A and B are shown apart, each in its own frame.
Chain A
Amino acid sequence: MNTSIHVTVNGVQYSHMVEPRLLLVNYLRDVLRLTGTHVGCDTSSCGACTIHLNGKATKCCTILAVQADGCEITTIEGLSHNGELHPLQEAFNECHGLQCGFCTPGMIMTAADLLQHNSQPSETDIRHALEGNFCRCTGYHNIVKSVQYAAEKISESAVAPAEVKA
C-alpha cells in the first residue's frame, strides 16, 4: 500500500505517494530528478549518496523515503545560493579536490556537516569525519586541503562584515 509523504527538499515542498520500500536516494534521483546525489556502493559503505536529513549527514541509500516524511532535506543541488557556489564547492574547484567527481557530492555534504559542528577542524578531524566517504581517484590529500580551504573562507567571511561596519 502506498504511503503519502511530505518533504522539503532544498527549500521546496513536495508531496508524493510512494511505495514503503522506495529508498530515499531513489526518491531524490528518480522522482525529483535530483541526480547530483550519486549511488556508489548501494550498501551504506561509500558515502556517495550522502545528503542532509534535518541537517545531519545521511547515507540515503540506507533510509526509506517514508522515514523522511516531515523532514527537511538538503542535497548537493541545494548548497549554492543565487548562482554563487558554496565555499566547499569553490574549495574543491580551487584545490583540485576532485578528479572523476563521482564521490564529490557526498564528500561535500559530509564536510558541510563537519563544518557546522567544528568551524576550524584539524587535519585529523577532517580525516575522521570523512571516514564514511570513499574516493577512488584523489588519494584524499586534496580533499582534506579543500575542506581546510573552505573552513578558512567561511571564517573569513564571518569576520568580513564586522570589519566593513567598523
Chain B
Amino acid sequence: MIPAAFEYEKVTTVDEAIAALSNDDTKILAGGHSLIPAMKLRLSRPAKLVDIGGIAALKDLKEEDGEIVIGAAATHADIMYHNLIRTHLPFFTEGASMIGDVQVRNHGTIGGSLAHADPAADWPALVLAADATIEVRGSDGSRRIKATDFFTGLFTTRLGPNEIITAVRIPKPADGAKSTYQKFPQPASRFALVGCAVIRFADGSTNIAFTGVAENAFRDSGAEQALAGKPVNEEHITAAVNAALQNVDVLGDHYASIPYRTHLAKVFLRKALWAVK
C-alpha cells in the first residue's frame, strides 16, 4: 500500500515547523508509526508533511526546576532506557516497555502518541496519572495544557491545528511514591484493551488513570477518593474498585464487549493497587 502523494519538508527547528504548519492541510511527521499506516490506508491524505525527526532539541530528556522534562520527539525506547525516568518515574519505564514491540518503540514518540490520542494508547494514562503538563507552541507562542484538560475525545485533544507539542513536563514525585502500569494488551496489536496507571504518594493521595476503556484516557476520581488518606489494603482496594468507572461510557467493540471491558478494567485496577501497596 502506497500513500497518496504529498509534499515533504524536513525542518531543523521548532520555528520552522510552526511556519510550515501555517499552510492548509499540513501535518507533522514524527515517528510516523501512527500516521504512515493511516496514510497507507488512505484514511489520512495530508497535502504536506513536516518532518520533525531532525529537531535535536525535541529529543532532550532532562530534569529542570523539580520537573522531569521529556522532549516530544523522544522515542518510547529513549524513555524506557533513560536513568532519570527509571529513578523517578518507574511506571513510565514499565509502560514504555509494553508499547507495541521493539521496532515500534525505536520509532514511535511520546509527542506523536499524545497528539494522536488513540483511545488504546499507553502514554495518555501514564501522563494523566503523573499529573503532567503538555507544553505546546504555535504562531502565538507557547502555552501549557494540563494533561487532565488535554484529551477531549476519540483521537481529539486541545492541540490547535497549527500547534506542535514540544515537551511533556512531569512534577518529580516526592520520595516514597510508588507507581505501576498494568496493561492487558490486545494480543495481536499489543495496544491496551485496558491499561491502568497508578501512583500512590507518601502523603496518602493516589492518582489513578485508565486508557483503552473509554473514548479517551481519563482520571478516575471516584476510585481516587475512595482511597484518599486511607491505607492501601484489601478493604480500601475493594472500595476503590467498587467506586471506579462511575459515569464512564465504557467502549464495547469486537475485541471486548462493554461488560467484559468493565470487568477487565476493575481487575487491572485491583492488580495496580496491590502493586503499590
What residues of chain A have their CB less than 8 Å away from a CB belonging to chain B? 1, 3, 19-21, 23, 26, 42-45, 47, 50, 53, 56-59, 62-64, 66-67, 69, 110, 113-114, 129, 131-133
Contact = CB atoms under 8 A, between A and B. Distances in A.
B43 interface: no
A67 B2 contact: no
8 contacts: A19-B5, A42-B1, A53-B106, A58-B107, A62-B36, A66-B8, A66-B51, A132-B104
Interface in B1-50: 1-8, 10, 29, 32-33, 36-37, 39-40, 49
A53 to B, nearest CB: 8
A71 B5 CA distance: 23
B103 A132 contact: yes
B56 interface: no
A66 B4 CA distance: 15
A57 B1 contact: no
A132 B33 contact: no
B102 A131 contact: yes
B6 A62 contact: no
A91 to B, nearest CB: 19
A114 B103 CA distance: 11
B189 interface: yes
Given A66-B8, A69-B10, A131-B190, A44 B51 contact: no
B2 to A, nearest CB: 6
Given A3-B8, A21-B4, A42-B40, A63 B32 contact: yes
Contacts, number: 78
A44 B99 CA distance: 14
Contacts of B37: 43-44, 62
A62 B33 contact: yes
A66 B106 CA distance: 17
A66 B9 CA distance: 10
B102 A57 contact: yes
Contacts of B64: none
A19 B2 CA distance: 11
Contacts of A131: 101-102, 190
A56 B101 CA distance: 12
A75 to B, nearest CB: 14
A104 to B, nearest CB: 16
A63 B10 CA distance: 14
Contacts of A23: 2, 36
B53 interface: yes
B100 interface: yes
Contacts of A113: 102
Contacts of A57: 102-103, 106
Contacts of B40: 42-43
B34 to A, nearest CB: 10
A129 B7 CA distance: 35
B14 to A, nearest CB: 18
Contact of A47 (B103, B189, B190): B103
Nearest to A54: B106
Nearest to B81: A117
Given A44-B37, A66-B8, A58 B106 contact: yes
A7 B233 CA distance: 57
Contacts of A66: 8, 10, 51
B190 A64 contact: no
B5 A21 contact: yes
Contacts of B190: 131
Contact of A45 (B6, B77, B106, B189): B189
Contacts of B77: 56
B102 A20 contact: no
B3 A62 contact: no
Given A20-B8, A44-B37, A67 B101 contact: no
A114 B188 contact: no
B32 A62 contact: yes
A1 B7 contact: yes
Contacts of B8: 3, 20, 64, 66
